[in-house]
């Protein structure tokens, strides 16, 4: 177990490096939290530190409803919004935004709104879901161009583009050349 001063400093900084390494229990409320909990930090004189959620519960504390410290490390609940982004990336890789798929439909499959999904992508990836999908489609198309002898029309379809024209426009925007010239 880490010493009190190290834990207290990490808790006040909300340092993600310490997430899961200790749990903060607040004597005045009877609640225990993760070091990254978004609530206002309690006074240092009112806290105790435990090496596990089970130890905090055994001492009579109940879990925080905001940071959910009782969940298993690296479960979707533990990872928070990153879990939603990870699921969205998996669906995008499987073609959720190809062939006319919309961000609203993707968000619906994830159980969130389209605006919220866009905010999560901006926060975690710095790009929109549509931009991520476009980049993945272009990467798939480039791999198919360089590694296969498929005609460009089949590559466009296989990579998730609606038409050869969309593939050509994407390549012109990103690479400044046509797919055919890239293949050569």
What is the set of active-site residues? Answer: 33, 37, 64, 67
C-alpha distance from residue 137 to each of 22, 98, 134, 170, 175 (Å)? 42, 8, 5, 9, 14
Q: How far lies 88's CA from each of 113, 114, 122, 182, in Å?
A: 12, 12, 13, 30
Q: How far is CA 139 from CA 2, 74, 104, 114, 144, in A?
A: 45, 29, 23, 25, 9
End-to-end Cα distance, the chain:
60
Strand residue runs (E) in 43-108: 47-50, 62-63
Alpha-carbon gap, residue 54 to 68, rounded angstroms:
13
Distance in angstroms (rounded) separating the CA atoms of residues 160 and 32: 47
DSSP-derived letter for residue 19 is B
């Amino acid at each position: 177990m880490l010493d009190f001063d190290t834990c207290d400093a990490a808790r006040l900084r909300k340092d993600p490096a310490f997430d899961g390494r200790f749990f903060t229990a607040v004597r005045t409320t009877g609640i225990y939290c993760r070091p990254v909990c978004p609530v206002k930090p309690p006074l240092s004189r009112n806290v105790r530190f435990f090496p596990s959620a089970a130890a905090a519960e055994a001492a009579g504390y109940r879990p925080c409803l905001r940071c959910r410290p009782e969940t298993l490390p690296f479960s979707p609940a533990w990872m928070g919004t990153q879990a939603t982004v990870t699921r969205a990336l998996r669906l995008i890789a499987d073609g959720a935004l190809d062939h006319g798929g919309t961000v609203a439909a993707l968000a619906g499959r994830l159980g969130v709104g389209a605006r919220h999904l866009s905010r999560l992508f901006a926060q975690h990836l710095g790009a929109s879901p549509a931009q991520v999908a476009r980049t993945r489609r272009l990467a798939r198309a480039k791999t198919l161009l360089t590694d296969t002898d498929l005609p460009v029309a089949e590559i466009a379809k296989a990579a998730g583009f609606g038409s050869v024209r969309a593939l050509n426009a994407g390549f012109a925007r990103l690479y400044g050349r046509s797919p055919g010239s890239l293949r050569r």
